[in-house]
Every structure is written in C-alpha cells, then in structure tokens.
Chains A and B, each alone.
Chain A
Amino acid sequence: MNVPKNLKYTKSHEWVRVEGRDAVIGITDHAQHELTDIVYVEPPTVSDDVEAGKECAVVESVKAASDIYAPLSGEVIEANAELTDHPELVNQDPYGRGWLFKVRMSDSSQLDDLLNPEDYVNHTGE
C-alpha cells in the first residue's frame, strides 16, 4: 500500500496535500484498490463551499457509488476536469493525475485534525 509521507489523511480514506492556502484532495491508494475500477467521478462544483466532514463528491466504481467527504472546510477553487473522460486515472495515479478537487482553506487549523501517514496506515489495519 502506497502512503506518501508528505500527505495528510482522513479515516474516510481521502488524502490532502497542502499548497499554501490551498489543499489538493484525492482518495488514497488503499481506497482505489479496494473500490477497483473507477468509472465515474462527480466532483464538487467550483466556487461552492464545502464543510469538513460533509459529503461533497461521489466516486463510482463498477460495483458501487461512494461519497467523498471534505477533509477541510473552504471554497472549491478547482475540480480535476481530466477525470470527466478519464476516471480511471484515480486508479492509475491516485496521488497524482487522479486528484479530485482543490479547496481554498477557510480554517487551516483543521489540518491538525487529519491523520499523519503512520496513523493512516494503522487505521487501515495493514
């Protein structure tokens, strides 16, 4: 299981990469592997506000639709447009080209509530 050291994580299997005031968000390698083939991604709408812990996007595998929870509160400033035609990027490159959306954080202290890589590994029980 690939859990990059430079990212923060949630118990609901999202990852966060901090870029200044912004946070790039995706789903973890563990999540994409368990879900198997991603066939549809419904990102949040750009300029909408999302709230930490609330559902804001949907990732669909062949088998099921899964809600994605916002790890942090803020305004959605970008959604990964490449996933519209290539949802499989979430499987192929979950921490890179398979990112889901970018949030301008409204409260960066929420970062302290996220899991570090070691805690996330423990959480997945592997």
Chain B
Amino acid sequence: MTLGHAIATVRAVVSSEIPQRTPLYPIQASIGAKFIAFGGWEMPVTFAGILVEHRAVREHAGIFDISHMGEFIVAGPNAEATLNQLLTNDVRQLNVDQAQYTFLCNENGGIVDDLIVYRIAPTIYLLVVNAGNIEKDFAWFTEHLRLPVVLENESNATAAMALQGPDAPRILPAAAALPRFSIASLDVFGVACRVARTGYTGENGFEILCPAAEAEKVFGGFIQHGVKPCGLGARDTLRMEMCYPLHGQDITADTTPLEAGLGRWVALQKPEFIGREALLAQKQTGATRRLVAFRMTEKSPPPRPHYTIFVDGRRVGEVTSGTQSPSLGLGIGMGYVPTASAKAGTALEIEIRGRTFPAVVETKPLWKNTK
C-alpha cells in the first residue's frame, strides 16, 4: 500500500460508497474522529492516536462506539430450544440477566459468527453479533428455525458503546457491583440502558446498549466526565494482546472453535446442535491445526495478516492478526500452525517482505493483566 492509498482509504469512505453511519457519527466527528471503512460501516479508527487510546484503556478508561454491532432478539417459549439448536454453547446454563460467549457454526463446525447471548427475561434472549455478519446471521437464523419463535433484528434501533479500563467502575458506580458476564437495566446520564459487564479489551468495564435516539446523550456524558474517546485502532490492538479472535480474520467459516482453541464455549454434551457431529469427530481425532499466539523475538516490522509462518524452514501457515503491541513494545500476532508446532516455546519464523524474522509461540493471552 502506498502512503497515498493509506490516506485514500480513509478518504474513500467519506466520498464514494455509502457506508452506514452509527447514531454516534456526528458527535464523534465533532470531537476529531478519523473514520475508516469497517464491515460496511464508517467507524472512527482513532481520535488522538491509537497508542494514547490503547494506553488510556490499560491505565484509566476509554469509551468506544460499538453501535455497528448487531442486536437480535429471540423470544418465546421455544427460544431456549432454538438457541441450543443453533449455537454451540448451552443456553440452559444461563439464569436471567446472565450472558455467555458462543458460536454460530455450520454443519462442518466452521464458524459463521461468534457472539454473546444475554438472557434478559425468562424467555427473551438478546444476541450481539458482529457488524459485518448482521444480514448473514439473520438469514441463517431465519433459514434454520425449526420451531416458531419471535426473531427480531433490533440493530438499527439500538446503539452500543463500550466503557473499558480499570477506572470504569468508578465512572459508572451504579454498575460496579455487576458480576462478569451479567447484564442489568440501569439509568446512565438520564437514559434507560442495558449495561453488561463484558468487553473486548481484557480490562474491567461495561458494554452499554441504549435506544439509537439517545446514544449521543450517553456518549456525551462520558466525554464530559473526561473519558477518552477511542477508535477501532485501539480496540484492535487491545483485543490482539488478549488473543480475542476477530471473526473474518482469526476465525471464519473454514475454521472451527476447536482449531481456534475456543472449545470451552462448545457444549458437545448437548444432544444436538448444528455442527456438533463434525466438532465431535474433530474432538475425537484431534484438530490438525491450532490458532497460536506468537511474539517476535527480535526487532522486526510488525507482523500483519497473510504473512507466511515457517517452522524449521517449512511453510506451515499464515498470520491471521498481527500488530506492534503497544503494551509489550514488540510485534505480536496469531495464526494457524500444525498441532505439532502449537506448543508454547516453539520457534517460528515470520516472512515479512521477503525476509524472515524469528518469533516464538506464547501462551494466551499475550498481555497478562496483573492488575
């Protein structure tokens, strides 16, 4: 990519295509957001710089617009059975106001999407799915329903933001007592919101859902409290340090949760769900490749998606995510390698512009939060 292209990518979304904008676009534009295209959306990549925003979240707090993500409601007496048939995790484990991470898989066990399911009432579930997958997921649900349920796409009517960082409970004291992976209805700056103790950064914090029309009031409230606005750039470096997968990069319809090391969110003991047979077979024979985390062991350019991974001079896989880790000060990444090369400590080489640089397989997460 040329410098001009890098700059043009930022500009193109402003001038040519018609990307979607979240309800928080105007307020973010007014405080200096720099926008990029992401999953069909025009989203802020940064405000004051990715590194300062990354540091703000690790040390204090930051607020992210995540309104591009999709929200579905699945409700009715058949909701539980429907979700247990479509999703890999077991929704029967959820009490009201609890949440779980889960996968929507195809018959081969490939990941159609990864999402969080919130049980917000005895027979009402809220699903938060990836921005680029909203239409595909909704179509998948519609096609695979076996029992009558209420299924609604609330994505356009719903705004979402993430307040992340060690200071988050002090900024939102009403939510400080929420256990991890639970959700509550709370007033935030005068707006009725759903607040969940979830996130994508590895820090303490909350994800906040509210009606689109009132999103600016909530976001503006945090900004007035001195919380730093953060963009997708920092969201990406923060999640990579935690080895949280990004759908479309680290996990896709061609990779399974077991290969990605995410089997704890697959309830194989359930009698039936889409993908179960394939995943059970893979569990029994053992996955032949694994998504590993690695760090560069010498000074090198940052690893990037699609760079080739070598073991003992043999090409074994590709980088799926990579960056210069702001917290660790070195290149980090993830990628699929044969299971035999997936153990922590295994020496890898990453090819970057025709040269190879040494790396080593590390245990996940790469950033060990000691706070």
Contact = CB atoms under 8 A, between A and B. Distances in A.
Interface of A: 11-14, 27, 30-31, 34-37, 39-40, 42, 55, 58-69, 84
13 contacts: A13-B4, A27-B3, A34-B7, A36-B45, A36-B46, A40-B300, A58-B353, A62-B51, A62-B233, A63-B45, A65-B1, A66-B2, A66-B6
Contacts of A60: 301-302, 324
A34 B324 CA distance: 18
B7 A31 contact: yes
B4 A11 contact: yes
Nearest to A31: B3
Contacts of B86: none
B85 interface: no
A40 B301 contact: yes
Interface in B313-371: 323-324, 326, 353
A42 to B, nearest CB: 6
Given A34-B7, A36-B45, A42-B353, 17 more contacts: A11-B4, A12-B4, A13-B3, A14-B3, A35-B3, A37-B50, A39-B302, A40-B301, A40-B302, A55-B2, A62-B51, A64-B6, A64-B304, A65-B304, A66-B2, A67-B2, A69-B2
A58 B6 CA distance: 12
Contacts of B51: 37, 62
Nearest to B10: A34
B53 to A, nearest CB: 10
A66 B1 contact: yes
A61 B54 CA distance: 14
Contacts of A34: 6-7, 10, 34
Nearest to B299: A84
Given A12-B4, A35-B6, A63 B301 contact: no
Contacts of A11: 4
Nearest to A35: B6
B302 A66 contact: no
Nearest to A39: B324
A35 B9 CA distance: 11
B32 to A, nearest CB: 11
Contacts of A31: 3, 7
A79 to B, nearest CB: 15
B26 interface: no
Interface in B176-223: none
A42 B46 CA distance: 24
Interface string B14-57: 00000000000000000000100000000001100111000000
A61 B6 CA distance: 10
A64 B1 contact: yes
B308 interface: no
Contacts of A84: 299
A11 B3 CA distance: 10
Given A42-B301, A62-B324, A67 B1 contact: yes
Which residue among B4, B51, B236 has the maximum number of chain A CB atoms within 10 Å of its CB? B4
Contacts of B300: 40
A37 B325 CA distance: 12
B255 interface: no
Nearest to A62: B50
B237 interface: yes
A59 B34 contact: no
A61 B233 CA distance: 11
A37 B301 contact: no
A12 B7 CA distance: 10
Nearest to B54: A62
Given A36-B233, A62-B50, A62-B237, A68 B3 contact: yes
Contacts of B326: 62
A37 B45 CA distance: 12
Interface centre among B10, B50, B299, by most A CB within 10 Å?
A: B50
A36 B6 contact: no
Contacts of B302: 39-40, 60, 62, 65
Contacts of A61: 6, 50
Contacts of B5: 66
A35 to B, nearest CB: 6
B111 to A, nearest CB: 25
A80 B236 CA distance: 30
